[in-house]
Amino acid sequence: MRILIIATILALAGCSQAPKKTPAETTTTATASIAKDQPKKLEQDSKQRQEQLASLNHWQAKGRLAAAHGQKGGNASFVWEQKGDSYQIKLFGPFGSGAVYIIGHPQYVELKEANGKTTRAQNPEQLLKKLAGWQIPLTGLRHWMRGIPAPGAIASQKLDTRGYLSHLNQQGWNIQYENYFADKSPALPGKLQLQNGNVKLKMIITSWQNS
């Protein structure tokens, strides 16, 4: 469970292994990448869709996570509740065993473990530094799991034939989208895989609820 917690917080915070780009470079690179490979209408449809997804600020997602760091790994079920800039992520084993909570607010984020231990920091970056000694910037996962880039530099992105994001390279992470809930409006991801070096995170979402 420990490696799963660390990998989840790492993806929450993003990673800075890739060189940073200025906002101007970001816009040019992302637009050129899409325009070269995708029809103009598909690009426009995708932009409209991403605006809709970005406006979803209150939601709940349930599913399963699997994480690996080198030869170490773990898996758990999760329930993620997002309310504006605040969130609660519950990670747990079979029948709710060993539940831990990652609770985030604009002012702080904390980890509540099954043994009663609580670790608090000002943001996911500092929390991960306390747990694993890693220094990282930015927040990514709550954007990526909705099928949209996080704010900031985008190394590259690709769309499928429907205008849905199929691949994203951002903040040192390679993110592959394998399927979507087509019955949702807008459609939301059902399965994605994230990799940054030897850190891998697989997310299978079994249900989405928007409020």
Is 183 domain-assigned?
Answer: yes
Is 110 domain-assigned?
Answer: yes
User: Do 158 and 175 touch, CB atoms closer than 8 A?
Assistant: no
Q: How far is 137 from 123, CA to CA, in rounded Å?
A: 10
Is 211 domain-assigned?
Answer: no
Q: 80: how many CB neighbours lie within 10 A of its CB? A: 23
Q: What is the pLDDT of residue 27?
A: 34
Q: How far is 149 from 137, CA to CA, in rounded Å?
A: 15
pLDDT band for 26, please (50, 70, 90 cuts): very low
For 151-184, write each residue's pLDDT tens digit.
888 999 999 988 899 999 998 889 999 999 988 8
Q: What is the pLDDT of residue 83?
A: 93
Q: Which domain holds residue 116?
A: 2-206
Q: What is the pLDDT of residue 138?
A: 40
Mean pLDDT of the chain: 80
Q: Structurally, how many domains does the chain consist of?
A: 1
Is 101 domain-assigned?
Answer: yes
Write down how long the chain is: 211
- At residue 86, φ and ψ (nearest 5 deg) are -110, 150
pLDDT greater at residue 185 or residue 63: 63
Is 123 domain-assigned?
Answer: yes
Token digits for 206?
A: 């079994």
What CATH number should be reported for the domain holding residue 179? 2.50.20.10
Average pLDDT over residues 61-69: 88
Q: What is the pLDDT of residue 70?
A: 77
Is 6 domain-assigned?
Answer: yes
Token digits for 77?
A: 């079920």
The end-to-end CA distance of the chain, in Å, is 30
